[in-house]
Amino acid sequence: MTAVLTRAAPPEPQLRRNRRRWGWSLAGLALVAWSLAGSGLFSGPVVNPAGSGEFGRFLAAALRPELDAGFLAVVAEATLVTLAYAVLGATLSVLLGALGAPLVARAGWGRRRAGWLATRAALALPRGLHEAVWGLLLLNVLGLDPWVGVLAIAVPYGAITAKVFADLLDEVPRGGHDALLAAGAGRGTAVLYGLLPAAAGGLLSYSFYRLECAVRSAVVLGLIGAGGLGYQLALSFSSLRWAQVWTTVYALAALCLAADVAGRAVRRRVTAPPPGGAAFRRDRLLTGAVVAVLALAVGAAWYLALSPAALFSARTAQQLEYVVSAAWPPTTDGDLLGTVGSTALVTVQMSVLGIVFATAGAVALAGFAARPRVPAGPARRALGVLTRLGLLLLRAVPPPVWALVLLFVLLPGVLPGALAIGVYTLGVLGRLVGEVVEEADRRSGEALRASGASPAGSWLYGTAPAVAGPVLALALYRWEVAIRDTVLVGLLGAGGIGVLLSAETSSFDWPAVATVLTAIVLLTFLVDLVSDRARAALR
């Protein structure tokens, strides 16, 4: 009897895991149903037929962009400004992340879990606010200074980079680290010499990924007045000059493509170094990439005429003191709290619908976005190139611009904002899901094809199960990012808590601004927590 009971015990953990998976799956479906109900899709008209003509003119202008020499010169100058903000912001964020990672890594705290949790919690504020929100706050402190754009990227990206760097440090083998501690070295020294060399490749790879993201963030900051391509895009859009809009969009796509290609080359070199046993630090391509970025950062600082004195001037100190003192204590008025709660729910609904749309689109396009492993015909290669270029255009245009375009054909509400988030996120997820398909184990699908199954059947029953887990994990991760993007869409009037933040900032009601910002940080933290638990349950 004892032996029988002992053999029967192991299935229980698997049963609990299955129950958790079913529970989280049902909760996810309920969340999607609630978001659909709140979108108004089934309760009334959502289409605006009167705007179809303008929407058609917008699409038609894609084939005839503005090519006037004077406007091209303006776009070229705006491109340099965007690149300068991106390079400086990314470089500074990597520096902040490198300095903060040892403080956030679990290895640096040992058994002192409370200290480790406190440092992690301290990153919630800078990570929880979108770059555009930081830009608005810094604008009130620094005025029209180029430091606004640089710091608006560096502050949230620095916190995110510190967390990721710390996770990378915690994942490498700890033999050298433990040996240094046993020899009497301090924890900081043990992390520096025992963990950092082993994690160097992953740290460099992620640093170049941050540069790719910084390009898109620099464009977003232009929409709120920081200059560059985003500012030019906003000017052309507000005057309905669609040919100019598409010229700017193509310039954005070219800049994003250059950043994507450079980042992909560096990451591939890190994960698959050249043969011959050359050490990572001696790789000429990686060394040249780092030197090039540092040179670009120096050139960007000169081009933007950054002055460190602007950060430490008396005026800056006075403005910072005024904003902080004016914002404390935050407003606890019942009417405002009720509005914060209702707009936060709208923000969640927009983000959920956006992620569902993006995930469905990414899965549908994954077969075309993925580069084939075997030689393909010219039609398949052309379709793949067009798909990848289309995804690049989708993620090159910021979500607020997609929201403004969709408002031509959709009535104001949750749906335009959700679709704007979905279209932009489709551009990002489509690329990531395509890479997952490229790297997936296809032996099951190939075996099904060899046994006579159709291409669709071999994909559905062979390849799809292997990529389902990574795709769900990517979708949940992008949900965390979508919450921040939804706030950005709201800042420009598409709905959600961002609209409330924009209104309170415009009226300089700093206590109310502090309340809304606190709600945004808490909302982001809760979504991060739910997403993390869901990924763990579905793993």
Same fold, 18-45+333-538 and 68-321: yes
Q: What is the pLDDT of residue 6?
A: 41
Q: Decide: 472 and 538 in contact? Cβ < 8 Å.
A: yes
Q: What is the pLDDT of residue 50?
A: 80
Q: Decide: 354 and 389 in contact? Cβ < 8 Å.
A: no
Q: What is the pLDDT of residue 210?
A: 79
Q: Tokens 């058609």 label which residue? A: 56
Q: What is the pLDDT of residues 110-126, one digit of tens each?
A: 666 666 677 777 777 78
Average model confidence (pLDDT) across the chain: 79
CATH (residue range 18-45+333-538):
1.10.3720.10
Q: What is the pLDDT of residues 87-99, one digit of tens each?
A: 999 889 888 888 8
Q: Which of 194-198, 287-291, 373-377, 421-425 has the highest mean pLDDT?
A: 421-425
- Can you give the pTM of this predicted structure? 0.81
What is the mean pLDDT of the segment spanning 465-479? 79
Q: What is the pLDDT of residue 282?
A: 62
Q: Is the pLDDT of residue 361 over 80?
A: yes
Q: Tokens 């054909």 label which residue? A: 409
Q: What is the pLDDT of residue 5?
A: 41
Q: Is the pLDDT of residue 4 over 50?
A: no
Domain boundaries along the sequence of the chain: 18-45+333-538, 68-321
CA distance 74 to 71: 5
Query: Among 231-235, 306-310, 318-322, 365-369, whose mean pLDDT is lowest?
Result: 365-369
The DSSP output letter for 513 is: H
User: Which CATH class name applies to 68-321?
Assistant: mainly alpha
Higher pLDDT, 138 or 284: 138
How far is it between the farthest Cα atoms of the chain? 88
Higher pLDDT, 483 or 413: 483
Q: What is the pLDDT of residues 309-359, one digit of tens each?
A: 888 888 888 888 888 888 888 888 888 888 888 888 988 898 999 999 999
Q: Annotate 236-288 with DSSP letters as a single string.
A: HHHTT-HHHHHHHHHHHHHHHHHHHHHHHHHHHHHHSPPSS---GGG-HHHHH
Tokens of 62: 């894609």
